[in-house]
Amino acid sequence: RRRRRAPVRRRPQDRCHRCCCAHRSRFAAAIDASRLLTWYAASRCDHGLSFAREAAQAKLFASDTAMWVTTDAVQIHGGYGYIKEYMVEKLMRDAKLTQIYEGTNQVNRIVAGGALMR
C-alpha cells in the first residue's frame, strides 16, 4: 500500500514571489530584444547601410518596452510606486519622456511603415 502524501500548502507569499519572477523574466526578454534591435540599427549605420527603418523600429520598440516595464513596476510596488522617494517613480517619468523625445512613436511608426513600403 502506498502512503498518501499530505498536500503542500503554499503560502500567499510564494505565489507573489513566482508572479514577480515571471514579470522579471518577461521584462528581461523585452529589454534584451530592445537592446539587440538598437545594436542592429547601429551596426547597419557603421557599415554604411541605410538604417532609418531599423532606427525607427528600435526607438519605437525600446521606448514602448520602457513604458510597459516601468508601468508594471509601479503596479508591483503599489502605492509606493508613486512616491518620489522610490526610484520607480522617476524611471516611469523618464520612460514616458523617451516616447516623446526625438520624435513621437507615431512618427516612428510612419517612418518604419513607409520604409517597408519602398
pLDDT tens figures, 15-26: 566 667 788 889
Which pTM value belongs to this model?
A: 0.74
Contacts of 20 (CB under 8 A, 6+ apart): 76
Which residues does the annotation mark as catalytic? Answer: 102
84-116 pLDDT tens trace: 888 888 898 898 888 787 677 677 777 777 777
How distant is the alpha carbon of residue 107 from its chain centre? Answer: 20
Confidence of residue 77 (pLDDT cuts 50, 70, 90): confident
- Cα–Cα distance between 54 and 52 in angstroms, integer? 6
Distance from C-alpha of 92 to C-alpha of 90, rounded to nearest angstrom = 5
- Give the mean pLDDT of 70-94: 85
CA distance 78 to 49: 46
Euclidean distance between the first and the last CA atom of the chain, given in angstroms as a whole number? 72
Q: Which of 42, 96, 35 is nearest to 70 (CA)?
A: 96
